[in-house]
Amino acid sequence: MRRASAARVQFGDPPVTSQALPVLVIVAPGQGSQTPGMLEPWLELPHFGDRLDWLSTVSGVDLRTHGTTSDADTIRDTAVAQPLIVGTGLVSLLELFPHPSDAFRVIAAGAGHSVGEITYAAAAGVLTAEQAMVFVRERGRAMADAAAAAEPTGMAAVLGGDRDAVLASIAKHGLTAANDNGAGQIVAAGTLAQLDAFQADPPEKAKIRPLQVAGAFHTHHMQPAVALLAKHAKAMSTHDPRIGLVSNKDGQLVSAAHEVLSRLVTQVSGPVRWDLCMQTFGDIGATGILEIPPAGTLTGLIKRALPDVETFALKSPDDLDAARAFVAKHGEKNLLNTQPDWRLVTSPAKGTIHIGEGLDEGVLLEPQTIVAAVVSLSDEQPVIAEHGGAVIEWLVADGDPVSPGQPLLRLHPIAEGYGQ
């Protein structure tokens, strides 16, 4: 990593931000959001079927049939459900934003839950739609194979109870907290024997609901799938996100394409921290959060975690006009996207910020410069300016407490001539 250059540039007035600005966030749901017949009304729209059929051809999965006539058991199959969810999200996004540039201009940030992270990575421009469909096809097959090859495994939702007590009980029974969804909902995963013992000895004041899934997703039981996806990832070309991408791993805003792809690979055997994603939505000042199809699940979680943020679940074509109005309300005049003259460096973790010396306004930074460290009780994480640039302003002071994904530093990406 590099240290900051001593060169400086002169700045005019930096962009002004305000908490009153509208901030639009888009979220993409994960497995379990699919329902029988969910694509029937969408297929009545012009071009929707053509686009869906193309993604079917790319993925080798008949999305039209599975989205209309296949029954619940068929679309519960991991190898079917995952491409169906991603394909549905990508094609419905084109109904909301016919031109990607429209989305890039108004969306501040977003995330996908589990497999929905692939949908959002494509929406953010990291992957093409075709890459997303091939990747999710391989992901679904690999996870199904991993589940079939191992000792029988499963998952169970834990509703309510004291959070610390729930996590302690999950660990006591040898299980993994595979999804931390916030709002009093944690999903435990492991072998069926472990889950049976857990259900017989539940945490106080908590309810346990077994989930109809094929295996213990987002745990070490999925490690064989990680190896396969890592092999495929080596051959994939990617682009840095055009809009903010909040990672399932830790709620961090990830700005480098290689890091996004790496996280998509390892995510299948690692916990989904949706609670931290929602925390980051709050940290960036989200005023409106729109869930794309198959919508509904994430909206419910967000309403409980962020009650002051307006939400919208795009469930059917009948909702499109209202969804467009929602986008106009929360995306219009959003300086996070309409100002191309700067980029944000965000916090990689929760802790206390310690800013490097000499990083004042105008200092030029080379790519991969370490500009600060976030220190917690357990470790220290470097803060890296992935692409370099010139320092416009620090958004925090040395010694401030910071959260994952919190904006720390504003940089001008092209220093030459700035402010002249």
Question: Binning pLDDT at 50, 70 and 90, where does residue 420 land?
Answer: very low
SS3 313: strand
The architecture in CATH of the region 343-412 reads: Beta Barrel (2.40)
Structure-token pair, residue 22: 């509208």
Tell me what percent of the residues of the chain surpass a pLDDT of 90: 72
Burial class (CB in 10 A: 0-12, 13-18, 19+), 303: middle
Residue 5's pLDDT is what?
Answer: 41
In DSSP notation, 238-284 reads ----SSEEB-TTTS-B---HHHHHHHHHHGGGS-B-HHHHHHHHHHT
- 381-405 per-position pLDDT tens digit: 899 988 888 898 899 999 999 887 7
- Which residue, chain included where needed, has tokens 């990832």? 233
> For domain 151-211, which CATH number applies: 3.40.640.10, 3.30.70.250, 3.40.630.40, 3.40.309.10?
3.30.70.250
Helix (H, G, I), strand (E, B) or coil at 190: strand
Joined tokens for residue 148: 């079939």
- Name the residue among 389, 394, 393 with its Cα closest to residue 416: 389
Cβ neighbours around 105 below 10 Å, total: 17
In this predicted structure, the answer to whether residue 333 has a pLDDT above a threshold of 50 is no
Question: Mean pLDDT, the chain, as a whole number?
Answer: 89
Residue that the structure tokens 């201009």 belong to: 105
218 classed as catalytic = yes
Summarize the confidence of residues 193-212 as an average pLDDT: 94
| H or E element, residue 141 | helix 129-149
Q: Are 246 and 280 in contact (CB under 8 A)?
A: yes
User: What DSSP character marks residue 335?
Assistant: H
* Predicted local distance difference test score (pLDDT) of residue 87: 98
Range of weakest confidence among 135-139, 228-232, 252-256, 371-375: 252-256
Assigned fold of 24-146+220-332: Malonyl-Coenzyme A Acyl Carrier Protein; domain 2 (3.40.366)
Span of 10-14, 30-34, 183-187 with lowest mean pLDDT? 10-14
Q: What is the mean pLDDT of residues 273-295?
A: 94
CA 123, CA 260: separation in Å to the nearest integer? 13
Catalytic residue among 33, 92, 114, 247: 114
Nearest to 91 by CA among 53, 34, 124: 53
In this prediction, residue 334 has a pLDDT band, given cuts at 50, 70 and 90, of very low
pLDDT of 15 over the 60 cut: no
Cα-to-chain-centroid distance, residue 360 = 32
Minimum mean pLDDT range among 180-189, 292-301, 356-365: 356-365
Cis, bond preceding 210 (omega within 30 deg of 0): no
Per domain, the residue ranges of the chain are: 24-146+220-332, 151-211, 343-412
Catalytic residue among 66, 113, 173, 218: 218
How many other C-beta atoms are found inside a 10 Å radius of the C-beta of residue 101? 10
Instruction: Answer with the residue of higher pLDDT: 334 or 262.
Output: 262
Q: Which residues contact 34 (CB under 8 A, 6 or more apart)?
A: 75, 76, 81, 84, 85, 88, 294
Residues contacting residue 415 through CB under 8 Å, at least 6 positions apart = 9, 364, 389, 390
Rounded to an integer, what distance in angstroms lies between the CA atom of residue 136 and that of residue 129? Answer: 11
Q: Is 247 a catalytic residue?
A: no
Over residues 48-58, the mean pLDDT reads 97
